[in-house]
A = this chain, B = another copy of it.
Amino acid sequence: MRSVQDHLATVLAAAGPVPPLDVVLHDAAGCILAADVLAPVDVPAVPVATRDGYAVAADDTYSAGARGPELPVAHDLHAGSAAGLRHVPGTAVRVASGAPLPRGADAVVPVEETDRGQARVAFQRAARPGQHVRYAGADVRAGEVVLTAGTRLGARQIALAAAIGRGRLPVHPTPRVVLMSVGDELVEPTTAARPGTVFEVDGHALETAVRDAGATPVRVGAVPDEHAALREALEDQLVRADLVVLTGGLSELAHDTVKDVLAPLGTVRLDQVAMTPGTRHGFGTVGALGLDVAEPGGRTVPLFALQGHPVAAQVSFEVFVRPALRAMAGHTELFRPSVAAAATHGWASPPGLRQFVPAMVLGSPDEGYRVTPVGDPAAPSVTALAHANALAVVGEGDLGVEAGTVVHCLVLEG
């Protein structure tokens, strides 16, 4: 049996970032930037008013009129006005916030500090040079690196890219993940249950889990446990996949369809991994051999084969697939947050296996955390997992947990 750690190392060695691509801002959002972004222009490009008011040469406002400084109003400028207007000394120009200043003006007097005059305007006090003006390049200087490779592109980074006129950005695209569930017994949950059928759970669960991990799922659904059907489904889907996840078909007493179909397609190894739930694991790459979609020397695609039990499939996704997806998307932080929590009561753990137990973690950094298993730790159910907020992790060498023992917990939400 391989250890969880060794298997994870194998997985992460094969899951490099998806090659960078220039994409429009809409598609770049949520992705990791693949190269530094330089500003091609100053922002703002010209000096602009930061308040609604009157653009003036500050010097002109030192000559006080009857009610304070006063100037004739020469013009109106709003944000869309053509730039390049020249300021006539001794006049004021009405400007909207964001509008370019006429050349020669060096200050803005906010409307609130004036009599809001149309032909002539009176000011409450003289203006300071530079007041309420944002000079060219104040936000960004042309040539400056504004966003560095490795940055996650959220709303605020997309705003900065748009502000410097970048409509496309080089990113690691979100990986496309093809999900197939192998089994003759599987039916869609929209179907009425019949004896001998089992609802297709894994594809639905992993579709959501893939999206939550920031990747793009392609759920194929159930594929019969039959060589031609599985091979054909793989060939159809591989062209659109950055990663393939098969669930089911790994039982020791099953038809070996998964093993047989994958063998000629690449390097997928079927292993026992020292963990529970989900001891049987397939991992490798496919596409280099045998498939029409592979050009000579063409790309290969990592493939996971996970046990079909929904809890095993979901736990294996958390432990191996999710970190791989994060690495493929260019993230450097691959793992869920974890906390150390004191067990509220004990449970047994099988020797030699790392045990993942659906659990409820409560507490806070201040008061500390407590963890309680949800359901039977020896037989974790879909219900228990749905009602848990964490996976409690018991080491391979431990035969169980006693009340009060501090347990390492992967936090699944919150």
Contact = CB atoms under 8 A, between A and B. Distances in A.
Interface of A: 24-26, 29-30, 41, 43, 45-46, 50, 52, 76, 78-84, 94-98, 100, 111, 134, 138-140, 146-147, 152-168, 183-185, 188-193, 195-196, 198-202, 204-209, 211-212, 219, 225, 248, 251-255, 307-310, 314, 364-366, 379, 381-383, 385-386, 388, 412-413
Contacts of A191: 165, 167
**8 nearest A-B pairs in the assembled complex, by CB-CB distance:** A167-B190, A365-B365, A80-B185, A159-B205, A155-B209, A80-B184, A160-B386, A155-B208
A140 B251 contact: no
Contacts of A156: 205, 314, 382, 385-386, 388, 412
A96 B254 contact: yes
A283 to B, nearest CB: 20
Given A314-B155, A366-B365, A383 B160 contact: yes
Given A30-B208, A154-B208, A196 B159 contact: no
A334 to B, nearest CB: 15
A386 to B, nearest CB: 4
B386 A314 contact: no
Contacts of A153: 208
Nearest to A197: B80
Most buried by B among A163, A248, A388: A163
Nearest to A45: B193
A56 B96 CA distance: 85
Given A139-B383, A155-B212, A160-B382, 14 more contacts: A25-B189, A26-B219, A29-B208, A76-B253, A79-B308, A80-B185, A83-B195, A96-B252, A98-B308, A139-B381, A140-B383, A156-B386, A162-B199, A167-B191
A159 B381 contact: no
B163 A199 contact: yes
Contacts of A188: 167
Given A162-B201, A185-B80, A189-B167, A155 B388 contact: no
Given A80-B183, A80-B225, A309-B98, A155 B205 contact: yes
10 contacts: A43-B383, A52-B252, A78-B254, A80-B198, A80-B225, A159-B385, A160-B386, A161-B204, A162-B189, A162-B204
A251 B160 CA distance: 22
Most buried by B among A193, A208, A364: A208
A233 B414 CA distance: 39
B253 A94 contact: yes
A159 B412 CA distance: 15
A251 B383 contact: no
A251 B52 contact: yes
A251 B79 contact: yes
B196 A82 contact: yes
Nearest to A133: B379
B158 A204 contact: yes
A270 to B, nearest CB: 14
A192 to B, nearest CB: 8
A207 B24 CA distance: 13
B251 A183 contact: no
A154 B245 CA distance: 19
A173 to B, nearest CB: 16
A159 B314 contact: yes
A274 to B, nearest CB: 14
Given A41-B193, A162-B199, A314-B159, A212 B154 contact: yes
Given A162-B201, A183-B79, A201-B159, A52 B154 contact: no
B30 A211 contact: yes
